[in-house]
Amino acid sequence: MEKPIAASPKEALILIKFLEEKKKKFYLNYSFIYLGWFKNLYNKINSLKSDTIVKISWEFKAHFLTTNFMNWKSDFELGGGILRFYGIHLIAVLTALNYENCKIIKLKNNAETIVYKIISLNKPIITISINIDSHIDKFAIKIFDDNIKKKKY
């Protein structure tokens, strides 16, 4: 299935429940969790102290901005937007890293950029920054703590 599977988290839960009740197999392509950097981060994350900061930064120019072709992917109300269409991949990463019962602090949220701080008990702090109107393409993960001054993945 294409992600997101519905226009809102509530609608997604309804659809998932329906598919499960009907015993239908379905798959969503959250491909980040199959990449080498994720495996490195997964192996490292549990050895980090809870005051460690992991910064995930993703910058690119979204296709709909380069072509000026607006569709559901660019519209939050239709299930798109930065968080629901792009950031959903990083939500899958957080889930795979066992971030549960998180406190999420919105640091910035506008049409081009989101920045969130994610705090989970006994886990490193993660900040996620996504800029869909960047003049460069960049994806970086940096770890900051007293023992690891700065390390890229």
SS3 146: coil
What pLDDT, on a 0 to 100 scale, did the predictor assign at position 75?
A: 83
Share of the chain above pLDDT 70, in %: 95
The amino acid at 128: I
Q: Which residue has the higher pLDDT, 127 or 88?
A: 127
3-state secondary structure of 72: helix
pTM of the model: 0.84
Q: What is the pLDDT of residues 95-151, one digit of tens each?
A: 999 999 999 999 998 889 999 999 999 999 999 999 999 999 999 999 997 665 555
Q: Average per-residue pLDDT in the chain?
A: 89
Q: How far apart are CA 14 and CA 54, in angstroms?
A: 33
Closest CA to 121 of 141, 98, 143: 98
Please report the domains of the chain, with CATH numbers, ordered by start residue.
Answer: 32-152 (3.30.360.10)
Q: What are the Cα distances from residue 6, in Å, to 20, 28, 95, 97?
A: 15, 12, 18, 24
**Residue 4 pLDDT > 90, yes or no?**
no
For 115, what's the count of Cα atoms within 13 Å in the CB-facing half-sphere? 5
Q: Evaluate whether 54 touches 125 at the Cβ level (below 8 Å).
A: yes
Percent residues over pLDDT 90 in the chain: 59
Distance CA 49, CA 25 (A): 38
pLDDT exceeds cutoff 70 at 152: no
CA distance 55 to 45: 12
